[in-house]
Amino acid sequence: MRFDVLIKGGEVLDPGANQRGRLDVGIVGDRIAAVDRDLPADDVGELVDAAGQVVTPGLVDLHTHAYWGCSYWGVEADPIAARTGVTTWLDVGTAGAYNFPGFREWIAGPSRARIYALLNISCIGLTGPTYELANLDYADVPLAETIVNANRDLILGIKARIDRNTTRGTGIAPLERARELADRVGLPLMVHIGAAPPELREIVALMKPGDILTHCFTGADNRVVDAERNLLPYVKELWERGLVMDIGHGTGSFSFDTAEAMLAHGMPPDVISSDIHQMSVQGPMFDLPTTMAKFLALGMSLDDVVERATSRAARAMNRPELGTLRVGGPADVALFRLREGSFTFYDVAMAPRQGKVQLDNTLTIARGRKLERRPERPLHPWAAIPERQRSAGARP
């Protein structure tokens, strides 16, 4: 059999297909053609030597902001994908009804990496840093429903940021409208939590199984653990019924203390995502592989961490064909070297934890083609991270 690309000699780690071992991966066109031992290399367009490396499905990042140039937050996906192994990006609410056509035309359309979206319940999206739900006139359910129905190939759900900065006095009403919209279009709802009000109990009361609670390991006052570090019972009940718990690290939404409490109770997150944007890419988040390495430092296994950044994330998006290397599926592949040493990782409050492994991406293949590494655009002039986070320095 002729392969356009043959990745040979690596350690394949594909939790979604329950596959692990010294295996070769053959690609024809934009599909995985074979995963097996000792695939023949006598008729190959490009041979990739993966010896000493881990070969995973392309990473699936469930929480990103990729609307570059039309948002306070957005980064450019492809240059970052090429150096991180993230081949599927879910942009979560950067675009609303008014500016989604531009997102489709200028961002998702030309991208080599796969980019899907959650539509913001606010029709202005995340044009500014926050406040998009301070005016309820922007939470236009009929308009948003029209946009979703015209773009169901890209829009996989609804997004609402529900915290005191975003809502600014409108209370729980924006989330009620987001719930109405999600139900009308039959798609899941992702809710961002952080600082109250509204209170967490009010928020989760409007969520359903299959919805996504992002920033679930926040250290802010809407955190999911109580003073005794136990998971709040009303969150636990919904989680057990199918709520998806997503990390969404960012610059303000990940606490080692909360993560350690949850892991101590045998409750790891369902999905590990980055919340990558103009600020968080500067640190202490840096990128999705670094976020994954933080959970290795907290004691999770490599298999479990990879699963939460590949197949579990894909299932939360209702795109189970992604995040795995099954034969016949999309040829999205990432190669990593496991760099061993002594590394200091930080949460958003700059609390340090020591780790022994960092994940360094060496190659990203999206839709069967290598993503070439190229310079990233300069950050926007307003993209300043909090002073305390600048001490994180460079990526570990």
- Check residue 316 and give its pLDDT: 98
Residues 91 and 62 sit within 8 Å (Cβ to Cβ): no
Q: Range of 210's domain?
A: 58-316
Listed residue (114, 119, 65) closest to 86, CA to CA: 114
- Check residue 157 and give its pLDDT: 98
Asked whether residue 311 falls in the same domain as residue 270, the answer is yes
- Check residue 131 and give its pLDDT: 96
Q: Is the pLDDT of residue 391 over 90?
A: no
pLDDT (tens digit per residue) in 181-219: 999 999 999 999 999 999 999 999 999 999 999 999 999
Asked whether residue 63 falls in the same domain as residue 52, the answer is no
Averaged pLDDT of the chain: 97
198 falls within a domain: yes
Listed in sequence order, the residues at least 6 apart from 395 whose beta carbon sits closer than 8 Å to its beta carbon are 283, 286, 287, 290
323 falls within a domain: no
Please report which confidence band the pLDDT of residue 297 belongs to, taking 50, 70 and 90 as the band edges.
Answer: very high
Asked whether residue 170 falls in the same domain as residue 228, the answer is yes
392 falls within a domain: no
375 falls within a domain: no
For 321, which DSSP code? Answer: T
pTM: 0.97
Asked whether residue 69 falls in the same domain as residue 49, the answer is no
Asked whether residue 73 falls in the same domain as residue 190, the answer is yes
Asked whether residue 126 falls in the same domain as residue 26, the answer is no
List Cα–Cα distances, 268 to 231, 244, 258, 272, in angstroms. Answer: 12, 11, 11, 9
Asked whether residue 148 falls in the same domain as residue 239, the answer is yes
**Mean pLDDT of the region 9-22:** 97
- Check residue 212 and give its pLDDT: 98
- Check residue 1 and give its pLDDT: 85
C-alpha 274, offset from chain centre: 5
Q: How many CB atoms lie within 10 A of CB 240?
A: 9
Alpha helices in 346-394 (DSSP H): none
Asked whether residue 272 falls in the same domain as residue 340, the answer is no
Q: Which residues pair with 21 in a beta bridge?
A: 12
For 375, which DSSP code? Answer: P
pLDDT (tens digit per residue) in 170-184: 999 999 999 999 999
Asked whether residue 137 falls in the same domain as residue 263, the answer is yes
Listed residue (112, 104, 24) closest to 365, CA to CA: 112
Query: How many residues are present in the chain?
Result: 396
Asked whether residue 355 falls in the same domain as residue 262, the answer is no
**Mean pLDDT of the region 114-136:** 97
User: Would you state the structure tokens that stand for residue 383, as one six-digit string?
Assistant: 């993209």
CATH number reported for the structural domain that contains residue 353 in this entry: 2.30.40.10
Asked whether residue 50 falls in the same domain as residue 79, the answer is no
**Mean pLDDT of the region 239-254:** 97
How many structural domains comprise the chain? 2
Asked whether residue 212 falls in the same domain as residue 343, the answer is no
110 falls within a domain: yes
pLDDT (tens digit per residue) in 315-352: 999 999 999 999 999 999 999 999 999 999 999 999 99
Q: Is the pLDDT of residue 299 over 90?
A: yes
